[in-house]
């Protein structure tokens, strides 16, 4: 029997949200990720875990669990992590995200690292930077 997780990267960020279901919907519909897997509580239909992907990148998303000491927060000034994602067309990605009403933390700009990028706080408390490489600065 093959392992259903065998094609996953060795390291996967896990994002915690107070309510993971609308966060996953946002990540898929606005950020353009694909929903690969979702597990729901059979009694309450609450989303317990999801796997989303874009290109070769994968994220786990969930509500956090007290027994693991994990929890989501909606406080945009108190994030403990940020997810950095490369996209093919950062300008059109930015336009779609900005039009969604998400909070832009850093406008689209040319970063000294050779990328055009912007940073956004999604409506559920996680911070993201989306970038497109435009020059090699190595």
pLDDT for position 97? 97
Q: What is the dihedral of CA 29, 32, 37, 40, to 10 degrees?
A: -30
The string of pLDDT tens digits covering residues 69-90 is: 778 877 767 776 789 899 999 9
* Chain centroid, CA 24 distance in Å: 8
| 137 pLDDT higher than 80 | no
Domains of the chain, each with CATH number or no CATH? 12-66 (3.30.720.120), 83-138 (3.30.720.110)
| pTM for the full predicted model | 0.77
Question: 121: left (phi > 0), else alpha (psi -120 to 50), else beta?
Answer: beta
Contacts of 18 (CB under 8 A, 6+ apart): 63, 64, 71, 72, 73, 74, 124, 125
């Amino acid at each position: 029997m093959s392992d259903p997780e065998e094609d996953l990267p060795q390291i996967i960020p896990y994002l915690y949200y107070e309510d993971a279901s609308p966060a996953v919907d946002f990540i898929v519909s606005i950020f353009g990720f694909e929903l690969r897997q979702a597990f729901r509580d059979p009694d309450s239909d609450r989303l317990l875990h999801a796997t989303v992907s874009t290109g070769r990148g994968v994220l786990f998303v969930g509500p956090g669990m007290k027994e693991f000491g994990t929890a989501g927060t909606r406080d945009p000034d108190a994030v403990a992590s940020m997810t950095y994602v490369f996209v093919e067309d950062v300008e059109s990605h930015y336009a779609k995200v900005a039009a969604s009403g998400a909070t832009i933390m850093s406008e689209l700009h040319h970063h000294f690292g050779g990328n055009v990028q912007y940073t956004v706080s999604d409506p559920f408390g996680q911070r993201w930077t989306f970038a497109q490489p435009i020059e090699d600065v190595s």
